[in-house]
């Protein structure tokens, strides 16, 4: 997606450890106008797939996923990373290793939110090694719902997340694909 590519190239910062910092428009401050365009792009891609719910992982996926759910006129489910005493008694949980924080967390969904009649779109901000999104896939499958696809804003194609998800039989649509972040330079994948 052209506008997101330009934003990444102009405002993203390639850090030493293969991490792209996008705090200016996605992870800290949010460019709402850009998020609306991102949501329209996801909606165009997935509108014929019979999606009943959009799912994301707290917290940086929420802004684009919320607007995508609005475009598709379906509810949004936010998977929780922090255990909460209030809602969580009857839940599915799965352990996920965090790429940016070097720790792990228990991704959680209440059992009553998805049924076998649901066909879901999973949205996340980044795809790196695919840990977060495959955790979401496991929770959807534990809930007996089916997966229409995965929508990612920024895929780091030099890490193996896409391969992992393809092996799980799931198709991934990424708006921007990064080939390399070496030497502080952001290089995009050249599409034919
Ligand atoms: P994965 O689970 O695919 O290894 O990593 C995906 C998660 O880690 C995303 O939800 C995102 O929050 C975070 N992440 C991975 N790589 C990056 C990155 O380069 N920059 C930022 N800002 N977050 C990242």
As a whole number, the mean pLDDT across the chain is 95
* pLDDT tens digits along 132-161: 999 999 999 999 999 999 999 999 999 999
Read off the pLDDT band of 186 (50, 70, 90). Answer: very high
Q: Given a cut of 70, is residue 5 above it in pLDDT? A: yes
- Among 60, 123, 128, 177, the mutation site with the greatest number of ligand 1 atoms within 8 A of its Cβ is 128
Higher pLDDT, 131 or 99: 131
Percent of the chain with pLDDT over 70: 96
The residues lining ligand 1, judged by C-beta closer than 6 Å to any ligand atom, are: 19-20, 22, 27, 57, 60, 99-100, 124-132, 156, 161
Q: Is the pTM for the entire model greater than 0.85?
A: yes
Q: Does residue 39 register a pLDDT over 90?
A: yes
For the segment 160-165, the average pLDDT, to the nearest whole number, is 97
pLDDT of residue 82: 77
CA distance linking residue 176 with residue 166, whole number of Å: 18
Q: What is the C-alpha to C-alpha distance for residues 5 and 177, in angstroms, rounded to an integer?
A: 8
Domains of the chain: 2-188 (3.40.50.2020)
Tell me, what's the pLDDT at 100? 72
pLDDT band at 79 (very low <50, low <70, confident <90, very high): very high
Segment 17-29 mean pLDDT: 96
């Amino acid at each position: 997606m052209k506008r997101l590519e330009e934003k990444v190239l102009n405002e993203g910062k390639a850090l030493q450890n293969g991490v792209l910092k996008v705090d200016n428009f996605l992870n800290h401050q949010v460019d709402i106008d850009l998020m609306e365009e991102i949501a329209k792009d996801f909606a165009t891609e997935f509108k014929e797939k019979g999606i009943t719910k959009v799912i994301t992982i707290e917290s940086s996926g929420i802004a684009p996923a919320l607007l995508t759910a609005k475009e598709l006129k379906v509810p949004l489910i936010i998977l929780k990373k922090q255990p909460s005493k209030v809602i969580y008694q009857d839940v599915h949980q799965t352990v996920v290793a965090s790429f940016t924080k070097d720790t792990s967390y228990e991704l959680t969904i209440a059992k009553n939110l998805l049924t076998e009649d649901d066909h879901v779109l999973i949205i996340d901000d980044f795809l790196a090694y695919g840990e977060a999104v495959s955790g979401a896939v496991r929770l959807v499958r534990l809930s007996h719902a089916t997966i229409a696809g995965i929508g990612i804003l920024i895929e780091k194609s030099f890490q193996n997340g896409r391969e992992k998800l393809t092996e799980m039989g799931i198709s991934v649509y990424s708006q921007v694909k990064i080939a390399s972040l070496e030497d502080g330079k952001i290089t995009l994948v050249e599409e034919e």
